[in-house]
């Protein structure tokens, strides 16, 4: 099954969720309504994590009665040939997290799993395991797609050197992860998912339940990396998105702020509104946690109903998964940033401090003529001054700190990449 670069997969998932989510959400507002209680939480996310971090977690019957277990699953789109890789991922995630919680594993593929795959993966966990075929209609070229134009696009995008651009299976994978995974009957009874890819590593213990955190504070999406993608793979994605918003302005969430995705310095930058130029930043979706009801369109919040599903259907009908190489990562990024409140998608970062967003543009080949943003994708997402409003006195300035005396033009003149001027406080 076609995947993003394994190098980036490894970097994405070498994490321990306790340390990183602490850093990412300590500055979040505390006005979230709990999904189950429909009342203001008594704790901030920061306080909640500290109070609910235990190794091993409490397992008494009193504790189970006190807190409702989230309806959540670990899901993986994988082929039988990737057995060694998925066993690697399972072994570490089970050891560091799921052996205490026993969330079920659901494996999906367009081809039947071999007995060897089923036996090995079911033996790798004490949690329930299930194996599912993807419907043919969800992994085939739809009737509204011109086969001739599709073949031409494969040749053209492949000749450009766009990663995975020539691979049919990669198009199907991106389409399924964008539109169909949340529709699969196997996930009907779940509210949350954790996407697990083959060949990833979890090095640190996870002493709390991220699913319970999501349920308590109404989070809809969690990510690890924000990186730059090759703009040549989806040239019509942003115009198609703007067209969808123009036709459905009521779906744009009043508390959303996609400004971190805009290149305000580009020609025709648009001034920060929906007419701005997309900077091609994305949440790297090889690691993600999400609220299935947000994607399905039946979220408990009326302001988030139906938006994602209507949006991705619009993109699908335009043929971008086949005539171009629309990816699930930029689609999830745009959807969450446009149709959900800004404070509902926290970042999960590494258990050990690392350079912030180092080499975030490595997926973009040198031959791509696209503009590079003025700062890294993650730092633009973290820059609270963009979404709390105002300048130096805004609440968000506590997230990033400019290095004394730093100037981007000086760093570039000395051979740097121009992205070393800001650090996240506390790292």
How many other CB atoms are found less than 10 A from the CB of residue 94? Answer: 20
**Distance between terminal CA atoms of the chain?**
36
61 with 326: CB under 8 angstroms? Answer: no
337 with 276: CB under 8 angstroms? Answer: no
Phi, psi (rounded to 5 degrees) for 166 = -95, 0
Kindly tell me the burial class for residue 359, based on how many C-beta atoms sit within 10 Å of its own C-beta (0-12, 13-18, 19 or more): middle
Query: E strands along 38-139, which residues?
Result: 72-77, 105-109, 129-133
In the β-sheet with 72-77, what is the strand arrangement from edge to edge? 129-133, 105-109, 72-77, 192-195, 288-291, 221-223
With CA atoms as reference, report the closest residue to 419 among 357, 366, 349, 365.
357
Structure tokens given for 139: 């992994």
Residues 6 or more apart in contact with residue 239 via CB below 8 angstroms:
none
Q: Quick one: CA dihedral 418, 419, 423, 427, positive or negative?
A: negative
Q: How far is CA 281 from CA 6, 152, 326, 376, 413, in A?
A: 19, 27, 14, 9, 25
188: helix, strand or coil: coil
Phi, psi (rounded to 5 degrees) for 30 = -115, 30
How far is the C-alpha of 154 from the C-alpha of 174, rounded, in Å? 15
- Length of the chain measured in residues: 427
Of 288, 324, 358, 411, the active-site residue reads 288
- Beta pairing partners, 195: 75, 288
With CA atoms as reference, report the closest residue to 425 among 66, 93, 152, 24.
24
Residue in the structure block whose two tokens are 């593929």: 109
Residues 6 or more apart in contact with residue 70 via CB below 8 angstroms:
191, 192, 209, 211, 212, 214, 215
Q: How far is CA 226 from CA 29, 151, 258, 329, 376, in A?
A: 22, 31, 14, 10, 8
Residue 401 annotated among the catalytic residues of the structure: no
| Catalytic residue numbers, as ranges | 288
């Amino acid at each position: 099954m076609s995947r993003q670069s394994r190098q980036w997969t490894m970097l994405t998932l070498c994490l321990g969720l306790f340390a990183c989510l602490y850093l990412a959400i300590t500055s979040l507002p505390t006005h979230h309504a709990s999904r189950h209680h429909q009342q203001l939480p008594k704790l901030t996310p920061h306080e909640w994590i500290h109070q609910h971090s235990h190794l091993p977690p409490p397992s008494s019957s009193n504790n189970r009665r006190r807190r409702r277990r989230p309806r959540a699953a670990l899901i993986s789109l994988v082929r039988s040939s990737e057995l060694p890789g998925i066993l690697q991922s399972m072994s570490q995630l089970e050891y560091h997290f799921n052996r205490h919680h026993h969330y079920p594993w659901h494996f999906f593929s367009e081809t039947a799993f071999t007995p060897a795959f089923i036996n090995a993966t079911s033996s790798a966990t004490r949690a329930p395991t299930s194996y599912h075929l993807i419907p043919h209609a969800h992994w085939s070229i739809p009737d509204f797609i011109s086969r001739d134009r599709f073949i031409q696009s494969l040749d053209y995008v492949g000749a450009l050197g766009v990663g995975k651009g020539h691979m049919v299976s990669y198009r199907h994978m991106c389409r399924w992860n964008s539109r169909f995974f949340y529709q699969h009957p196997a996930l009907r009874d779940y509210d949350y998912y954790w996407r697990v890819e083959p060949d990833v590593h979890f090095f640190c213990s996870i002493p709390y339940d991220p699913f319970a955190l999501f349920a308590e504070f109404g989070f809809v999406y969690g990510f690890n990396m924000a990186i730059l993608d090759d703009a040549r793979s989806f040239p019509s994605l942003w115009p198609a998105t703007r067209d969808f918003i123009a036709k459905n302005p009521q779906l744009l969430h009043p508390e959303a702020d996609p400004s971190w995705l805009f290149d305000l310095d580009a020609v025709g930058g648009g001034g920060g509104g929906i007419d701005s130029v997309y900077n091609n930043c994305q949440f790297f979706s090889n690691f993600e946690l999400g609220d299935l009801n947000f994607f399905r369109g039946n979220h408990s919040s009326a302001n988030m109903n139906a938006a994602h599903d209507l949006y991705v259907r619009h993109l699908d009908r335009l043929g971008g998964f086949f005539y171009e190489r629309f990816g699930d990562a930029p689609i999830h990024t745009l959807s969450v940033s446009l149709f959900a409140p800004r404070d509902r998608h926290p970042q999960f970062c590494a258990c050990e401090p690392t350079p912030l967003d180092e080499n975030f543009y490595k997926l973009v080949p040198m031959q791509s003529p696209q503009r590079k943003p003025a700062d890294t994708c993650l730092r633009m997402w973290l820059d609270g001054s963009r979404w709390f409003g105002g300048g130096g006195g805004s609440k968000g300035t506590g997230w990033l700190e400019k290095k004394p005396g730093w100037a981007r033009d000086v760093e570039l003149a000395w051979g740097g990449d121009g992205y070393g001027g800001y650090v996240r406080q506390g790292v």
